[in-house]
Chain A
Amino acid sequence: YAWDANEEYLFKAMVAFAMRRYSSKSTTQISNVLLCNVTDRVSFWFVVTDSAKNVTTVAGSEVEAAIRMNRNRINSAFLLSDKTLQFLKISSTIAPPVEPSTPVWLIVFGVVLCLTVAGIVFLIVTGIQRRKKQNKESPETEDLEEKCEVTVTIENGIPCETLDLKAGHINGVYAADDERFASL
């Protein structure tokens, strides 16, 4: 924007406002702020006089402190920032970085870890279930084979014939079982 007398007036008003807020005496007027050496660069010197005492300038440190306190308001009035509106010899205080109570990365890490552990547990459980099903099915097939063998030996009677050679009461089923175990 172009720098003209109206902008200068606003600047003087802001400085006066800053002085009033800082020292909380409402005697500083716009006429107390004096500008000089205005250049095209838009840079200038300014002083604040004290009309209570005999037209003496207010100490530089006081003006500095006042401006530092209200820097934000002054910047906002001109829609500028610390970088674009520079007060020489007044360094801007640096705002500390905002830190949330729990670091964000811990939250993300927790999410990732929980998902991974859930996946691992799911895979292990399905693996165990699959193995149990496998183990259950192979003894079942073994049982079926046993039953078939038992019926066959009873039906075709071959073990009974061999048993007839021996004396006494011998249970054909158990003899059949012994035969089967012996062959193993």
Chain B
Amino acid sequence: ADAPPGSLQEDGRPKWDNKFQYLLSCIGFAVGLGNVWRFPYLCQIHGGGAFLIPYFIALIFEGIPLLHLELALGQRLRRGSIGAWSAVSPYLGGVGLGAWMVSVLVSLYYNTVLTWVMWYFINSFQEPLPWSACPLNENRTGFNEECYESTAVNYFWYRKTLNITPDVTENGTLQWWLVLCLAACWAIVYLCTIRGIETTGKAIYVTAIFPYLVLTIFLIHGLTLPGATEGLAYLFTPNLNILKNPRVWLDAATQIFFSLSLAFGGLIAFSSYNPPKNDCEKDAVTVAIVNCLTSLYASIPVFSVLGFKATTGYWDCLDRNIISIINKFDLPEQSITRQNYTTSIRLLNSSYPEKIAALKLKSCNLQEFLDQSVSGTGLAFIVFTQAVILMPASQVWAILFFIMLFSLGLSSMFGNIEGVFTPLLELKIISKSTPKEVISGIICLISFLIALCFTLGSGSYWIDIFDSYAGSLPLLVIAFFEVTGIAYVYKIKRFSEDVKWMTGRNPNLYWQITWRFISPLLLLIVFVAFVTLQIQKSPSYAAWNPKYEDFPMKEEKVYPPWVLAICVLLAVLPCIFVPLVALFHLMKKMLGSKDPRSVPPEEFSCQGATS
């Protein structure tokens, strides 16, 4: 009577209130910022609608099998990533440890991206929006120089938000406004994860469903904007020639992989709280399909808005030219309009070519404006904010957009934190009597203190480093060992029996083939291709330097050796646990084999139902 109603199972392990909560948590974890700002960009640069072909092939042969594998594993062994992989085989314990390490590293920097989103959100309540106009310089004669040469939106992002330094080695100081927002973000994460899935399960109802509402609102509004159809046509026009480029296939495979948040250990943690007899096969397919459909659904409003922005830019260009022509030739107002611009200019050019040449008119090309493709933070904080200024009632759209991004990121953070939290609860280092609130509080506090590094002037360069090195390569390695570990160490036959016990039917031929051969092979190819591409281009970064001669273009700089060492460390550290733990157990076995009382390691891979 004293336990909270319905939240504990017979063995004392917490459980989900209902199946919907579990599905929403997995979907929320998978659907994140990448669905909004990475997938539409990839669609655009890789031939529009044609990109969907490698995307769906990667989904079927790589995404869904891996997802099913992780969910089934967590549900069967009912432990977090470290405990689960140690239970599969002690030699594979390093896989769980590596996944835990990656979750830690990603949690650190992911919340800083949410800090930026929160900063923009709280600044969206102003009228007019602070990124719509340049501030004046000291003696009020003109605009601030850095702002004038680039745009007001760029200035607000690079100077007012990040206060970025021109070089990654120059640390700058802690930006107090970002520290405040970071503290607020970690407080919100703590509030939602304070008691593990008991609290995240309630919070996920809001954070997972709300983005869909906002996306729908933006979809309806975006389609009514002028120029939306041009943007959408540009996005979806298929260019089938692009499929000959292997880079497209690699991008599709990596996008599916990172989009489904595989190999973080968070999915294993979520499914470990399920009742043992749950249809994990249906869950896996559901989560994967919902994630892909969300990516597609999100790209429609994104591209409507981008088309609107390109069209507005094109019209502005035309209007500027028209004004200068009318002024020069003293023609009456409205004599040259956007519609008859091309004919008028041809007429004038034939009659007065020198005058036209003297005007130095900029050529306005809509395609050029549409081609300016951006992804990542550039899309959200520069391109979208600029588009929002052009809409009527900008504050409302800005607030909605940033709160949507915040919800998307927050639900992914829940998965990351659960991937860190659940294995810690199961390790012997924390006593059973410590309340969960204290453990989650300590995790959030330590993460906040370490993440303060990202609020320095050079913070955004470091986040790019973490994103490219810690959040990419180790995941591929860990996933490869996951699939091969289950297929060849635990043996697929045994795994199929476990799945049959849980779902009531034997995994069919599709699962057998993909788990045994196709997924490991595909992961190996993707890993090799990824590493080859990374090695080929020298690691450089684009720095924002106002003193650069080609400003506002970014300056290409090379990482100094000590930064490169950190990059390598970030990529290698999670992966190194896999062989280290295997070696450790091998040595223990060899030393322990002289002792007849020692139990052979095969005994340790138990069914796990009793734990």
Contact = CB atoms under 8 A, between A and B. Distances in A.
Contact of B187 (A94, A117, A130, A134): A117
A124 B437 contact: yes
A149 B147 CA distance: 84
B122 A105 contact: yes
A145 B331 CA distance: 104
A36 B187 CA distance: 70
A109 B332 contact: no
A78 to B, nearest CB: 14
Nearest to B328: A41
B435 A94 contact: no
A40 B327 CA distance: 11
Interface residues of A, number: 26
A104 B126 contact: yes
B330 A39 contact: yes
Nearest to A97: B133
B327 A41 contact: yes
A43 B195 CA distance: 73
B180 interface: yes
Interface string B457-493: 0000000000000000000000000000000000000
A133 interface: yes
A40 B331 contact: yes
A41 B190 contact: no
Counting chain A CB atoms within 10 Å of each CB, the highest count among B142, B183, B184 belongs to B184
A130 B194 contact: no
B122 A131 contact: no
A104 B184 contact: no
B195 A127 contact: yes
A119 B206 CA distance: 15
A96 B332 CA distance: 33
A40 B330 contact: yes
Interface in A117-157: 117, 119-120, 123-124, 127, 130-131, 133-134, 137
Contact of A116 (B128, B140, B187): B187
Nearest to A119: B191
B136 interface: yes
B135 interface: yes
Contacts of A137: 2
Contacts of B435: 127, 131
Max chain B Cβ within 10 angstroms of own Cβ: one of A40, A120, A134: A120
A112 interface: yes
Interface in B1-30: 2, 4
Interface string B378-407: 000000000000000000000000000000
B595 interface: no
Contacts of B496: none
Contacts of B183: 113
A108 interface: yes
B180 A109 contact: yes
Given A41-B331, A124-B437, A104 B199 contact: no
B389 to A, nearest CB: 14
Contacts of A130: 2, 4
A120 B191 contact: yes
Nearest to A88: B327
A71 to B, nearest CB: 16
Contacts of A39: 330
Contacts of B327: 41, 43
Contact of A108 (B122, B135, B142): B122
B125 A97 contact: no
Contact of A94 (B125, B143, B437): B143
A42 interface: yes
A123 B437 contact: yes
A13 to B, nearest CB: 23
B123 interface: yes
Nearest to A107: B125
A96 B126 contact: no
Contacts of B180: 109
A176 B180 CA distance: 64
Given A108-B125, A123-B194, A137-B2, 18 more contacts: A39-B330, A41-B330, A43-B330, A94-B136, A97-B136, A105-B119, A105-B123, A108-B122, A109-B122, A109-B180, A112-B118, A113-B184, A116-B187, A120-B191, A123-B191, A123-B199, A127-B194, A131-B435
28 contacts: A41-B326, A41-B327, A41-B330, A41-B331, A41-B332, A42-B333, A43-B327, A97-B128, A104-B123, A104-B125, A105-B122, A105-B125, A105-B126, A108-B121, A108-B122, A108-B125, A109-B180, A112-B188, A113-B184, A117-B187, A120-B190, A120-B194, A123-B195, A123-B199, A124-B437, A127-B194, A131-B435, A134-B2
4 tightest A-B CB contacts, nearest first: A108-B122, A41-B330, A105-B122, A40-B332
Interface of A: 39-43, 94, 96-97, 104-105, 108-109, 112-113, 116-117, 119-120, 123-124, 127, 130-131, 133-134, 137
Interface of B: 2, 4, 118-119, 121-123, 125-126, 128, 133, 135-136, 140, 142-143, 180-181, 183-184, 187-188, 190-191, 194-195, 199, 326-327, 330-333, 435, 437
